[in-house]
Structure 1
Amino acid sequence: MPSLSEVEAASRERGLGSGASELHGALCGWLAGGGEGGPDWPARVLADEGLAAVGAGDVLDRLRASTAAQLEDRDFGFELLLPDADAPLVERSGALFDWCRGFVGAFGLAAGASPPLSEEGAEALADLVRLSAATPEDDGDQEDEEALVEIEEYVRVAVLLLHGDCAMGPRHRGRLN
């Protein structure tokens, strides 16, 4: 997986208007919702047909490939692209909320108005929508640090659940029929 700074630079160079965490969230939302991960993924994920496709081996192509592989990993190796644990709490929580904003928007584009969600998936999506509307606070203590770690883990598992409902489930049902 490319680093946060590599993705941030690639996003800036292309004028995407999304930070690295939000862009990764959008890519994850698109893939979890059943969207195709081709070289034109930035145009699809960001709903901007004017965006150029990514070239093979480009930072954004590596991001797509590693993210798709992580979502399919049977050992649940999926990770969110967020600032390191040594970054300030306000920066990390803001990036998580941006990540969720990107996810929710692109998930809706890929999955449509009535995605095939389990009851747990519907609850998880509602939670991600609430997180996408949150704003970070300037201060925090150890309790807030611990809460953020728990929320990040919840988001990670929620994404895997939604990916199972909308991308993997339909694929497996198609193979059985």
Structure 2
Amino acid sequence: MSKTDPNPAELPAVSAIEAESRRLELAATPFELHGSLCGWLAGGGASVREWPAKVLADDAIPAPPEGSPLDELRLASASQLDDRSFDFDLLLPEADASLAERSGALFEWCRGFLGAFGLAAGASPRLSEEGQEALADLARLAGAQAQEDGDEDDEEALVEIEEFVRVAVLLLHGDCVLAAQHRQRLN
């Protein structure tokens, strides 16, 4: 991502992330990777180029090259989480993808988020009551199975769940990162 990029917080294309993931031989989908990255960052993990090794707990994974799609994903995600306008996006399939593909990707995203959040935040993170509830709800979503087909109500429900996940991530980031920064400034 260059300094002239008009929107440095825009996520790279799923296809670009998928291609680099294959090149680095990562055993995760683009959705799981983004969820893992966001879990790592929301739990207080550092925004470093070596993030795939950290979130996948495998020191043998090389750091993505600077400016590569995975590096751009890190920079955009960190920027979105730190932006107080709450403009945070989940990397998911396009709206015209099937309900099964979209719901499956969302549940993969949640599974990735939970694993990396635990790595970064530790066993007993300082969470608000709302943060504890949000984390429990994300865990339930991570255990869900993709729905093969559905109607308009199912489509609407998926959109609502996506919005819930987005807000839950921002809440957890606030509890673990922003509150910790605030406590540090007070001391």
CA distance in structure 1 between the aligned counterparts of 2:88 and 2:105, rounded to whole angstroms: 17
TM-score, normalised with respect to structure 2: 0.93
Which of 70, 73, 78 does residue 68 from structure 1 map onto?
A: 78
Aligned to 2:186: 176
CA distance in structure 2 between the aligned counterparts of 1:36 and 1:91, rounded to whole angstroms: 31
SS at match of 2:60: coil
SS at match of 2:85: coil
State the number of aligned residues: 177
Over the aligned positions, Cα root-mean-square deviation in angstroms equals 0.6
Deviates further, 116-125 or 47-56 = 47-56
SS at match of 1:115: coil
Post-superposition CA distance 1:12-38 (Å, at most 9, x none): 111111000000000000000000111
Unaligned stretches of 5+ in structure 2? 1-10
Aligned to 1:22: 32
- Per the TM alignment, residue 154 of structure 1 is displaced from its structure 2 partner at its CA by 0.2
CA distance in structure 2 between the aligned counterparts of 1:136 and 1:3, rounded to whole angstroms: 22
TM-score, normalised with respect to structure 1: 0.98
- Per the TM alignment, residue 128 of structure 1 is displaced from its structure 2 partner at its CA by 0.3
CA distance in structure 2 between the aligned counterparts of 1:72 and 1:156, rounded to whole angstroms: 14
Post-superposition CA distance 1:53-111 (Å, at most 9, x none): 12211111100000000001111110000001000000000000000000000000000
CA distance in structure 2 between the aligned counterparts of 1:75 and 1:39, rounded to whole angstroms: 25
Aligned to 2:104: 94
Q: Which has the higher helix share?
A: 1
